Amino acid sequence: MEAILAIIFIIGYLAIALEHPLNLNKAAPAILTGVLCWTIYIVFSSDVELVNHQLEEHLSEISGILFFLLGAMTIVELIDAHHGFDVITSRITTKDKRKLLWIISIITFFLSSVLDNLTTAIVMTSLTRKLVSNRQDKLLIVGMVVIAANAGGAWSPIGDVTTTMLWIGGQITPANIIVRLIIPSLICLFVPLLMLSTRIKGKDPEHKLDTAQKTVSPKESSLVFFAGIGSLIMVPVFKTITHLPPYLGILLGLGIMWVITEFIHKSKESQHKSQLSVTRALEKIDTSSILFFLGILVSVACLQSVGILKDVALWLDHKVGDLNLIVVILGLLSSVIDNVPLVAAAMGMYDLSTFPTDHYLWEFLAYCCGTGGSCLIIGSAAGVAAMGIEKIEFFWYVRNITFYALAGYLAGAACYILMEPLFM
């Protein structure tokens, strides 16, 4: 049975990794893999009730992650529909391309920590298209956006789905992850940023921002933006105070946002009002991503229940031995294989009884799997989004960005390892 499960999982993994060549949305193989794994498990099991009980236990944790993502994605869509991000973008006025590189990268880094790396990459890549006309310079800045978005998401409990998974799973706490990873993440940002600065020079004469007529006032945009960002930031506070799961905190924020938007648009025409509603935002969110997370997390839960992941952990410990090297390897693998299943697998490989909450392993895993994906354009959601918007070629990214991303990744990892004795 274990061999059959491993083969199904590997085939599913390959189908996910080859999403673009196959022209097949990665949610489809993820769902099929998840269902097939549990089907094989229960068919070969002598205790059907035990298998069903294990599935129900895993679904409790998985559903918390999915509801959290659903709420967060809806809030972000609501902010975007109200042009709330213009609060940031409208203040960028410089035409110097090197200054733009630094401004965009730093904004991306911190914005990603309160939103998520995918949404931040979409917003900042779209902004870069308006600010820079030269194709080569534009692509270099977008490459840096990918690195900054992933680095910014790694040190925040709500900045990257993998960090959120570790937080909800009880492996990390918000305050600790911020304190331990903020400096390594900044190193991961500034090393490639300094290196890329030598390749971008001059000014862009075609600096322009969108001036199209909007259906919301600046005051409404600002209100929705700050209410939305406030809702996201308050989630860790809500969990700390109430000890309730984070998805309830994000749903509370969504409910508040729903009331605010309904109130400020109550006197508008129904056509304009519907475009700015939470209902419309729910229609626009990427539901396929939610189903992908469901499929892959269910698949990994099956491997964990069977005991395959524990065997893999023992094999790595035996063959590699060094925990730091194991985590660095997992981070580099996340540039080829999606970091969601990698982190989910690691959560199944190493249990909390051996590695308790806020252990060195979990924090380092959050950093490596959060930033390692920057080494390839297909290695992160932020990279795939930028690839789609700017039509970036895979090998162009390898030639022009991979080295800088790898240098930043390794520098940040080294920084974390050297800093660890300070927290002991």
Report how far apart, in Å, the C-alpha atoms of 141 and of each of 38, 148, 388 are.
44, 10, 15
Residue 192 burial by Cβ neighbours in a 10 Å radius (0-12, 13-18, 19+): buried
* 174 close to 168: Cβ distance less than 8 angstroms: no
Higher pLDDT, 7 or 61: 7
Helix extents (H) in 268-338: 270-275, 278-284, 287-306, 308-319, 323-333
In this predicted model, what pLDDT tens digit does every residue of 371-389 receive, in sequence order? Answer: 998 998 877 778 877 876 7
Q: Give pLDDT, residue 313.
A: 66
Residue 180 lies in a domain: yes
Helix, strand, or coil here: 139? helix
Q: CB-based contacts of 300: which residues, under 8 Å, 6+ apart?
A: 309, 341, 344, 345, 347, 348
Q: Give pLDDT, residue 342.
A: 72
Other C-beta atoms closer than 10 Å to the C-beta of 378 total: 18
pLDDT at 207 over 70: no
Q: Give pLDDT, residue 104.
A: 92
Torsion of CA 317, 320, 325, 329, to 10 degrees: -100
Residue 334 lies in a domain: yes
**Residue 376 DSSP code:** S
**Distance from chain centroid for Cα 58:** 21
Residue 36 lies in a domain: no
In this predicted model, what pLDDT tens digit does every residue of 87-117 receive, in sequence order? Answer: 777 777 777 888 999 999 999 999 888 877 8
Residue 339 lies in a domain: yes
* 345 close to 337: Cβ distance less than 8 angstroms: no
With the C-alpha atoms ordered 56, 286, 72, 269, is the resulting torsion angle positive or negative?
Answer: negative
Q: CB-based contacts of 384: which residues, under 8 Å, 6+ apart?
A: 377, 378
Report the domain count for the chain. 1
> For residue 96, which phi and psi values (nearest 5 degrees)?
-70, 120
Other C-beta atoms closer than 10 Å to the C-beta of 331 total: 29
Q: Which domain holds residue 141?
A: 62-423
Helix, strand, or coil here: 354? coil
Per-residue pLDDT band at 235 (split at 50, 70, 90): confident
pTM here is 0.72
Contacts 24+ apart (CB under 8 A), 207-212: 207/93, 207/95, 207/131, 208/130, 208/131, 209/89, 209/90, 209/130, 209/131, 210/130
Higher pLDDT, 228 or 343: 228
Q: Give pLDDT, residue 161.
A: 78
Residue 402 lies in a domain: yes
Residue 30 lies in a domain: no
Q: Give pLDDT, residue 231.
A: 86
Taking the C-alpha atoms of residue 85 and residue 219, their distance in angstroms, rounded to an integer, is 13
Residue 48 lies in a domain: no
Other C-beta atoms closer than 10 Å to the C-beta of 106 total: 16
Q: Give pLDDT, residue 120.
A: 81
Q: Give pLDDT, residue 205.
A: 60
Q: Give pLDDT, residue 232.
A: 81
Per-residue pLDDT band at 417 (split at 50, 70, 90): very high
Residue 17 lies in a domain: no
